[in-house]
């Protein structure tokens, strides 16, 4: 097992290029199953989650070849509708093959994705939406068994949940509805850029979709879809992580190949905290004007502040003079990183679904353990400004969502390396 070793104190300078969005690529890979012909996906990041999805596609009978950021997926005529536990259990996004299999094959057996350290994330909205399209769904021996005796039929579907909309549920229902008879209206649909990117891919395949990016999506079913070529959007969470890194270290960093319009909530908070941000057609430049100021953050569905940047923002506020309040309204249990940040000298106190952050002058390097993907990013950020050496363990979490993070940070001037435990 690997670990990341950092020595803090270096200001980051230079430019960093953002990779393709994992959370966009994974549903699009699943959507490729809707056609028999080959689809070619560009700007696909080299991450462990991507490799897991490739193995899942192989297990379903599709051919998939990945090289140099380009992924070719050829499903062929005959698909195996069973997604096994050994693959689905390692990556929650595997559940997004449910909609495509049901839509094209009329049957899907997908293992339940299980629990997660950031709190329970049930798939009830996925099942509700697919049932509304006419699917019969049972839970048998830990598997979701979905089937339709006849072609799926369009319907008016409300996908509201206890914590708002669901990106993966919206994608799953949208994919299944592309081959259903009639029209489907998804109400309270997720508005995230990853949903828009999936819809754009489906439309290139021949799907008829309107309203993506809004809370109401309309899908008119078609008889068949065809293979196509599509480039995955840049990863807004990776870009946001490097933006926070520039702010924390007081550096001067240009974020290349990002989409500034996806970062409005983060840019607002960073600007309020004293970071100077310049935007142009090719990216964002971040510099800090003097000291940092505390800001309060509340995570919300897009276009609100992303829950996937909550941990990184907490790392920034932990070295910002004053008191900040960070409230988590998407996954209230997503605070596993607090104990590890406190090991490095942070003063963070939990009250329900809020974290009260008392900024300190400096952090101290320490051995810390990553609990999940975004917590890993937060601990890396803390290590960039901590005195002494920080060792971040369980970096397999990092490899799920940050492509070559130690190489990119090193090119910006960070003293960072990967070692074997």
Beta bridge partners of 298: 327
Angle at 304 between CA 298 and CA 307, to 5 degrees: 60
Measured distance CA(175)–CA(180) in Å, rounded: 9
Residue 101, sorted as left (phi over 0), alpha (psi -120 to 50) or beta, turns out to be alpha
DSSP state of 21: P
Measured distance CA(98)–CA(174) in Å, rounded: 11
pLDDT at 114: 53
pLDDT at 164: 79
- For residues 214 and 240, membership in a common domain is answered with no
Q: What is the mean pLDDT of residues 132-140?
A: 96
Tell me the DSSP string of 230-246: EEPPB-HHHHHHHHHHH
272-304 residue pLDDT tens: 999 999 998 889 999 997 899 999 999 999 999
Beta bridge partners of 217: 186
- For residues 218 and 268, membership in a common domain is answered with no
pLDDT band at 421 (very low <50, low <70, confident <90, very high): confident
> Where among 189, 210, 231 does a domain terminate?
231
- For residues 283 and 149, membership in a common domain is answered with no
Residue 117 has pLDDT above 70, yes or no: no
Nearest to 378 by CA among 402, 350, 354: 402
Residue 389 has pLDDT above 90, yes or no: yes
196-224 residue pLDDT tens: 999 999 999 999 999 999 999 999 999 99
- For residues 227 and 139, membership in a common domain is answered with yes
Q: What is the mean pLDDT of residues 329-351?
A: 95
pLDDT band at 115 (very low <50, low <70, confident <90, very high): very low
Alpha-carbon distances, residue 26 vs 88, 283, 377 (angstroms) = 13, 24, 20
Q: What is the mean pLDDT of residues 113-126?
A: 67
pLDDT at 89: 85
Q: What is the mean pLDDT of residues 358-382?
A: 96
Query: Across the chain, what does the average pLDDT equal?
Result: 95
Number of domains observed in the structure of the chain? 2
Percent with pLDDT over 70 in the chain: 98
Nearest to 26 by CA among 194, 189, 145: 194
- For residues 251 and 153, membership in a common domain is answered with no
96-105 residue pLDDT tens: 999 999 999 9
- Domain range enclosing 323: 2-19+234-420
Q: Are 374 and 350 in contact (CB under 8 A)?
A: no
Alpha-carbon distances, residue 198 vs 1, 41, 208, 275 (angstroms) = 34, 12, 13, 33
What token pair was written down for 121?
A: 């994330």
What token pair was written down for 133?
A: 């399209």
- For residues 111 and 140, membership in a common domain is answered with yes
> Where among 196, 231, 266 does a domain terminate?
231
Q: Are 354 and 310 in contact (CB under 8 A)?
A: no
Q: What is the mean pLDDT of residues 61-71?
A: 98
140-193 residue pLDDT tens: 998 999 999 889 999 999 998 877 789 999 999 999 999 999 999 999 999 999
- From the CA atom positions of the chain, what is the Rg in Å? 21
Q: What is the mean pLDDT of residues 352-367?
A: 97
Residue 85, class by beta-carbon neighbours within 10 Å (0-12 exposed, 13-18 middle, 19+ buried)?
Answer: middle
Q: What is the mean pLDDT of residues 22-39?
A: 98
pLDDT at 112: 86
pLDDT at 92: 85
- For residues 222 and 261, membership in a common domain is answered with no
Measured distance CA(387)–CA(392) in Å, rounded: 15
Where residue 220 sits, what CATH number does that domain have? 3.65.10.10
Residue environment code for 205-227, b if the CB has 16+ CB neighbours within 10 A, otherwise e: bbbebeebbebebbbbbeeebeb
Positions marked catalytic = 116
State residue 364 phi and psi, 5-degree precision: -120, 130
- For residues 217 and 301, membership in a common domain is answered with no
Predicted structure pTM score:
0.96
- For residues 223 and 286, membership in a common domain is answered with no
Measured distance CA(26)–CA(201) in Å, rounded: 12
Q: What is the mean pLDDT of residues 45-66?
A: 97
User: Which one is predicted more confidently, 122 or 186?
Assistant: 186
Q: Are 131 and 139 in contact (CB under 8 A)?
A: no
């Amino acid at each position: 097992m690997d670990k990341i070793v950092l020595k803090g104190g270096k200001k980051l300078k230079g430019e960093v290029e953002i990779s393709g969005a994992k959370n966009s690529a994974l549903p699009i890979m699943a959507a490729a199953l809707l056609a028999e012909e080959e689809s070619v996906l560009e700007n696909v990041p080299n991450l462990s989650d991507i490799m897991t999805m490739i193995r899942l596609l192989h297990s379903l009978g599709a051919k998939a070849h990945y090289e140099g950021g380009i992924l070719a997926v050829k499903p062929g005529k005959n698909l195996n509708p069973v997604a096994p536990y050994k693959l689905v259990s390692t990556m929650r996004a595997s559940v997004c093959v449910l909609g495509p299999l049901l839509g094209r094959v009329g049957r899907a057996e997908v293992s339940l994705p299980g629990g997660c350290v950031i709190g329970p994330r049930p798939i009830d909205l996925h099942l509700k939406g697919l049932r509304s399209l006419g699917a019969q769904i049972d839970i048998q021996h830990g598997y979701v068994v979905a089937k339709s005796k006849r072609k799926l039929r369009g319907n008016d579907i409300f996908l509201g949940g206890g914590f708002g909309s669901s990106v993966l549920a919206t994608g799953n229902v949208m994919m299944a509805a592309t081959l259903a008879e009639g029209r489907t209206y998804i109400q309270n649909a997720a508005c995230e850029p990853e949903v828009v990117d999936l819809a754009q891919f489906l439309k290139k395949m021949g799907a008829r979709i309107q309203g993506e990016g809004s809370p109401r999506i309309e899908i008119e079913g078609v008889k068949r879809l065809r293979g196509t070529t599509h480039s995955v959007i840049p990863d807004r969470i990776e870009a946001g992580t490097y933006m926070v890194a520039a702010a924390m270290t007081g550096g001067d960093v240009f974020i290349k190949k990002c989409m500034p319009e996806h970062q409005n909530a983060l840019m607002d908070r960073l600007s309020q905290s004293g970071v100077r941000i310049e935007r142009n057609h090719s990216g964002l430049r971040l510099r800090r004007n003097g000291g940092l100021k505390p800001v309060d953050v509340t995570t919300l569905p897009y276009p609100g502040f992303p829950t996937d940047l909550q941990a990184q923002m907490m790392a920034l506020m932990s070295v910002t003079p004053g008191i900040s309040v960070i409230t988590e309204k998407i996954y209230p249990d997503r605070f596993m990183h607090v104990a590890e940040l406190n090991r490095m000298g942070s003063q963070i106190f939990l009250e329900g679904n809020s974290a009260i952050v008392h900024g300190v002058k400096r952090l101290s390097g320490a051995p810390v353990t990553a609990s999940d993907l975004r917590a890993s990013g937060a601990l890396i950020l803390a290590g960039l400004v901590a005195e002494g050496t920080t060792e971040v363990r369980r970096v397999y979490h990092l490899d799920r969502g940050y492509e070559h993070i130690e190489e990119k940070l090193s090119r910006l001037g960070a003293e960072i390396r990967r070692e074997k435990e």
